[in-house]
Amino acid sequence: MTTQEPIPLVYPSLGEAELAAVAEVFASGWPAGQGPRGKALEQQLAGRYGVGGAVAVTNCGAALHLALLALGVQPGDEVIVADYTFPAPAHAVKYVGAVPVFADVRADTGTVDPQAVLDLIGPRTVGVIAVDTLGMPADYTELLQITGRHGLFLVEDAACAVGATYQGKEAGALAPVGCLSFHGRKGATSGEGGALLTADPALAASARLMSSFGIEPIFDQAKVVGLPIPVFTEAGYNYKLSDIAAAILQVQLGRVGELLARRNTVAARYGELFADEELAAVPYVPADRTHAWQSYLLTLDPRVDRSAVAAELRGQGIGCGHGTWACHVQPVYDSKQTCPVSADLFSRQLAIPMHAELTGPQVERVAEAVRAALRRHARPAA
């Protein structure tokens, strides 16, 4: 085992400003959800993304679920979802009794292939969930054309992409409905958290109602003179984001540029250090978009034993991971589909440390360790 300081795969950038914001919430007496800080956060999000409505919720999975409910997805409907991703989008489809249909991805970016989406549209298809894979925005020009032509909704899962852009527009606002995550490894974090963004204020209002058991916010009702008694018109959910988390996020959103700049520096240095590496390819970023660098994935040569490389890195205190999932092979979906590109990326990609707190020497140590491990655990060329 190494005696060197561990280098974690992920690490949140939280500090004194976030603590001060939490202290203000404690002093206010309203730490619960949909209070004054939650409202302020939703206004901040709507302004930042230029959308008609924003709903702060407990996580991105909740935002995806609420989006499908508000869009009226029914049991038996089919929703096309990007395959190479954390399975939250497909889970959300199952939550509403619909059928997830998995679309394969581009080999270069890992984002959903528009042609694959087009080929999967059938009589039961009602919409598409695109994913900004690990911080890389998908091809929204083509996806909007396809969904518009076929009368389908398009939802952007921008869970990993806070701060990324596509053709100059910020991820999260690239489709009529967008869903964000504020999990601990994201570009802005409150530990857990999420948001639904939409150009349609009525859709936002529906999602907000469903996020709070189907009633209007208790905080608002408490200010009404008299005794208003809530009426439950929907069997909603408890997806409210606490005001504690909302206060943290208000600070974090103001730091997105600063933190992303640091991630960009790390990504650029990795690109230099792995530029001539024959056993691993670095991420490709098309010229019309920018990456949020939630994760940094190397695509390993097929000759490399990824598990052995990971074991060696972890033995040295260097965090690493498999990347993300090929959803169509997960037992929960019992899918008979094949997505060969997604399956290949799932088997060969390796996540190495990526966060805003990495130092230059740490990045160099990671690269040196990875390159050495690749050589030790690669089969000779045929």
| pLDDT tens, residue by residue, 57-114 | 999 999 999 999 999 999 999 999 999 999 999 999 999 999 999 999 999 999 999 9
Check whether residue 234 and residue 360 sit in a common domain. Answer: no
Residue range 211-261, pLDDT digits in tens: 999 888 777 766 776 787 888 988 999 999 999 999 999 999 999 999 999
Integer Cα distance of 293 and 280 in angstroms: 18
| Residue 4, in any domain of the structure | no
Mean pLDDT value across the chain: 96
Name the pTM for this structure: 0.96
Q: What is the 3-state secondary structure (H, E, C) of 70-102?
A: HCCCCCCCEEEEECECCCHHHHHHHHCCCEEEE
Report the pLDDT value the prediction gives residue 1, as an integer from 0 to 100. Answer: 44
pLDDT of residue 60: 98
Domain termination site, one of 201, 230, 254: 254
- Is the same domain home to 247 and 314? no
Q: Are residues 79 and 50 in the same domain?
A: yes
- Contact assessment for residue 102 and residue 78, using Cβ atoms and an 8 Å cutoff: no
Kindly state whether residues 280 and 234 are assigned to the same domain.
no
38 and 161 fall within a common domain: yes
The span from the CA of 374 to the CA of 377, in Å, is 5
Rounded-to-integer distance, Cα 330 and Cα 129, Å: 18
Q: What is the pLDDT of residue 3?
A: 67
Straight-line distance from the first to the last Cα atom of the chain, in angstroms, rounded to the nearest whole number:
33
Domains identified in the chain, total number: 2
Are the C-beta atoms of residues 179 and 57 closer than 8 Å to each other? no
DSSP SS3 for 164: coil
Are residues 86 and 72 part of one domain? yes
Other Cβ atoms closer than 10 A to 168? 8
Residues 38 and 177 in one domain: yes
* Domain contains 2: no
Shared-domain flag, residues 195 and 269: no
- pLDDT confidence of residue 221: 66
pLDDT single digits (tens) 158-213: 999 999 999 999 999 999 999 999 999 999 999 999 999 999 999 999 999 999 99
Q: Is residue 1 part of a domain?
A: no
pLDDT tens digits, one per residue of 127-153 = 999 999 999 999 999 999 999 999 999
Measured between alpha carbons, how far is residue 329 from residues 106, 108, 335, 337, 374 in Å?
18, 21, 7, 8, 27
Domain that holds residue 303: 256-376
- CATH number for the domain spanning 145: value is 3.40.640.10
Compute the average pLDDT of residues 13-31: 97
Both tokens of residue 141?
Answer: 């020009």
CB 143 within 8 A of CB 106: no
In this structure, is residue 6 part of a structural domain?
no
* CA distance to 38, 160, 300, 351, 360, per residue, from 364 (Å): 41, 25, 19, 16, 6
Which residues does 138 contact at the CB level (< 8 Å), separation at least 6?
82, 109, 111, 112, 130, 131, 132, 156, 166, 174
Sign for the CA dihedral angle at 355, 356, 362, 368 comes to positive
Last residue of a domain, one of 254, 278, 309: 254
Whether residues 124 and 26 fall in one domain = yes
Same domain for 242 and 339?
A: no
Sheet order of strands, 349-352 included:
280-281, 296-300, 349-352
Q: What residue has token string 């939650």?
A: 38
Is residue 326 in a domain? yes
